[in-house]
Amino acid sequence: MNEDVKVDIIGSGTLLFKREWYDDLDEWYDRCSNVSMDDIYVSFFARSKNIPRYVLAHKEGYLKHKEIKKEDNYVFDKYVNNDKVQTDFINIYFFIFFFKQKTAYEI
């Protein structure tokens, strides 16, 4: 990736943010009904506070996946063929937020 790119949904695995941007971080788990949707929730709450999300420029191979073992239980593997909950959340809540300009607290 040769330049920083603004995105809607970020990967939270290597996320960096200022804690003071999220004055409600301690309430997130009470408001998030599904596990394994961290990327989507972090992105949604960031958008509700008008915090831009970027993938930063980096050289190929900068991040490497850990050794993959047969017994690993990855979220991707669990939902790759059944992502209805995640897709519905994005289609409903991102649509409402982006196009009707409601905040996460009004939904």
**Which of 20-24, 74-78, 80-84 is modeled with the greatest confidence?**
80-84
Residue 13: name the closest of 30, 32, 35, 38 by CA.
38
Residue 55 phi/psi, 5° resolution? Answer: -95, 125
Res. 104: pLDDT tops 70: no
0.95 exceeded by pTM: no
Within 10-84, strands assigned E span 53-55
Task: Identify the band that residue 93 occupies on the pLDDT scale cut at 50, 70 and 90.
Answer: confident
Mean pLDDT of the chain: 83
Distance CA 102, CA 47 (A): 11
- Residue 17: count of CB within 10 angstroms of its CB: 14
Q: What is the DSSP letter of 25?
A: G
Mind listing the pLDDT tens digit for each residue in 1-19? 899 999 989 988 888 888 8
Is the distance from CB of 23 to CB of 48 less than 8 angstroms? Answer: no
